[in-house]
A and B are shown apart, each in its own frame.
Chain A
Amino acid sequence: MTVATTNTPLLERQYARLGALLIAPTIVVFSLVIVYPLLAAIYLSLFSIYTPTLEGDFVGFANYWDLLSGREFWNSLRVTLVWTVGTLSLQIVLGVGMALLLHQNIWFRSLARSLVLFPYFLSTVVAVLVWRWLFNDLYGAMNHGLMQLGILDMPLDWLGSMPNAMIGVILVGAWKYFPFVVIAVLARLQTIPDHLYEAARIDGAGPIARFWDVTLPQLRSVLVVIILLRAIWDFKEFDLIYLLTGGGPVTSTQTLSLLVYQEAFALNQMGQAAAYSVGMMLVMLVFMLVYLRKTGGR
């Protein structure tokens, strides 16, 4: 950290002032829409607030006591972990595999890349609409396609029963977010020097050995960052799950984000919801600190 003291040259002090001036609007907006709400969330979690009237009383740590002793938070935490681990593993496997294929010199490579990339930028609302139509139990292409291929005998209820609902959500999540892994891995693949592969080939390594001994060690550092980043984003995912299943059947796909939303705007317990959100943030803080340490804030 640089400390501007009074005996630094005039120009440098002017620059420091200009630097502070340039960042000032950002700091003001940050404080208003992020820092203040963050502190307010912690403050609100100490109250019992009825959402429609927004009236409430101070209840101390009662909301946290309910969080620790009740079943909802722990159930949702378990669901969130199942969803995160499930969809993240699929994203990594699919993403790395697809990146390796797209790194090869295939026909119409840029078209293939665009098509693979597209779901990532698509609105979650659009993705969900299309997949709900695909999953439709009567007319859905998913059931009929799988039946025509002989994989299914009977149409499946994809989103209305367990464990299909969780599988469905994990699948759609993997479809939507794996392109992120593809792009990140592809960029890294292009920087692996060719002579490493040449050396391995001279040593008699086949394609599979070359993958394990050359490619994977080279991808290690970027994969760590991708996994941490995607873990954080998947952990807090709201739109996709809320729109696909609404957390159902009952609460089988109700992740922590959904729990917070439902507690605040369906059950009208804003204070309790704020406590849940603070609890969720504390869990996420673990991932965040690991990420910040790994990337060193760069």
Chain B
Amino acid sequence: MSLPSSMLRKIVLNFVTWSLVAVIAFPLFWMIVTSLKPQSELFRIPPTWLPETITFEHYWRLLTETPFLRYFRNSVVLATTTTVFVVLLGTLGAYSLVRFKFRGRETLAMLVLFTYLLPSVVLIIPLYLMMVEIGLSNTLLSLILAHTTFALPYALWLLRSFMEGIPEDLESAALVDGATRMGAFRDVILPQLLPGIISTALFTFILSWNEYLYALVLVNSDSVAPLTTGVMSMLISAFNIEWSLLMAASVMMSLPLIVVFAFLQSYLTRGFGAGGVKG
């Protein structure tokens, strides 16, 4: 093979790949560009593909004149509490499912997988009635409980896969040395499971952060609305839709995700290998 032809092949390959990547990433680029354009430039026809003037006024207005920060705080509380709750239960549950033998273990594992595939709309009507009945409707607590319906099966499934990847001999060695089961769990299993726990926590946090349907049905007061329904209400209630403001909100809403992508991306791909696809 001659050098020029292999070089040409490489250039074509790169060109094709990067053009496709550019098309896929364009909506993200457009979101950022729109959020930085002044109002006057926004409604120009045809649109300017790069902003002529860059302004941060929309971000300032978003933070000072809209309830955005309150929605943000609600989402942080909601996603964090859901994650802690679910990862705690899930880690103990996965340990039990993988390393203990008891009646109904296999059935239970199948049930977890089944609920992991269940549509939310089936559960939403009874959950709504339940929350109204016990007086929890319009609270963040009702959302946390509702989010466990999809987060717990998901976390349990992921953690189960990670747990299966930990060799059993280390734990057995600790037991021979006289450690109790829970002692071995704390000193041997937990440190090895840590990357898996981080993966699971990130996935759960993102799932909960992005959830929309339960928030739409269970919460209709603006003071406890999380970002998803809160930002959507900014779209629906506006007389003139302010796209720059909404795009600024979209960028801000994606901030946690951007942080995760910048620093912890390997944990996300690991989670995929463990739970998403191996099934």
Contacts and interface: CB of A to CB of B under 8 A. Distances in A.
Contacts of B21: 112, 115-116
Contacts of A147: 46
Contact of B114 (A32, A133, A288, A298): A288
Contact of B121 (A32, A124, A236): A236
A184 B272 contact: yes
A273 B54 CA distance: 49
Interface string B116-133: 011111111111111010
B228 A281 contact: no
Interface residues of B, number: 95
Interface in A233-276: 235-236, 238-239, 242-243, 256-257, 260-261, 264-265, 270, 273-274
B30 A123 contact: no
A192 interface: no
A211 to B, nearest CB: 14
Contacts of B103: 1-4
B138 to A, nearest CB: 15
A277 B124 CA distance: 10
Contacts of A126: 31, 250, 253-254
Contact of A129 (B17, B97, B231): B231
Interface in A56-103: 98, 101-102
Overall SS of chain A's interface: helix
A37 B106 contact: no
Contacts of B45: 138-139, 144
Nearest to B161: A298
A140 to B, nearest CB: 8
Contacts of A208: none
Nearest to A12: B101
A122 B92 CA distance: 29
A184 B277 contact: yes
A280 B119 contact: yes
Given A4-B101, A115-B21, A116-B24, A133 B246 contact: yes
Interface stretch (B58-66, B141-149, B190-198): B141-149
A243 B232 contact: yes
B113 A292 contact: yes
Given A106-B14, A116-B21, A119-B24, A29 B126 contact: no
Given A18-B100, A122-B254, A1 B105 contact: yes
B239 interface: no
Contacts of B268: 117, 121
Given A131-B27, A238-B120, A29 B100 contact: no
Contacts of B14: 106-107
Nearest to B88: A25
B167 interface: no
Contact of A281 (B106, B118, B246): B118
A16 B250 contact: no
Nearest to B271: A183
A36 B130 CA distance: 10
Contacts of A260: 121-122, 124-125
Contacts of A25: 89, 92-93
Contacts of A235: 119
Nearest to B104: A1
A229 B27 CA distance: 26
Interface in A1-37: 1-4, 12, 15-16, 18-20, 22-23, 25-27, 29-30, 32-34, 36-37
Contacts of B249: 129
Nearest to B234: A129
Contacts of A205: none
Interface centre among B17, B108, B111, B146 (most CB of A within 10 A): B17
15 contacts: A1-B106, A22-B93, A25-B93, A26-B89, A33-B145, A123-B212, A133-B246, A141-B30, A175-B27, A229-B276, A243-B232, A264-B125, A274-B125, A277-B121, A280-B119
Given A33-B123, A115-B21, A125-B228, 13 more contacts: A3-B103, A33-B127, A36-B126, A37-B122, A112-B18, A114-B261, A116-B25, A129-B249, A130-B31, A133-B30, A133-B247, A183-B276, A261-B213
Q: Across the A-B interface, give the 4 residue pairs with the lowest CB-CB distance, nearest first.
A: A19-B100, A236-B119, A40-B126, A37-B126
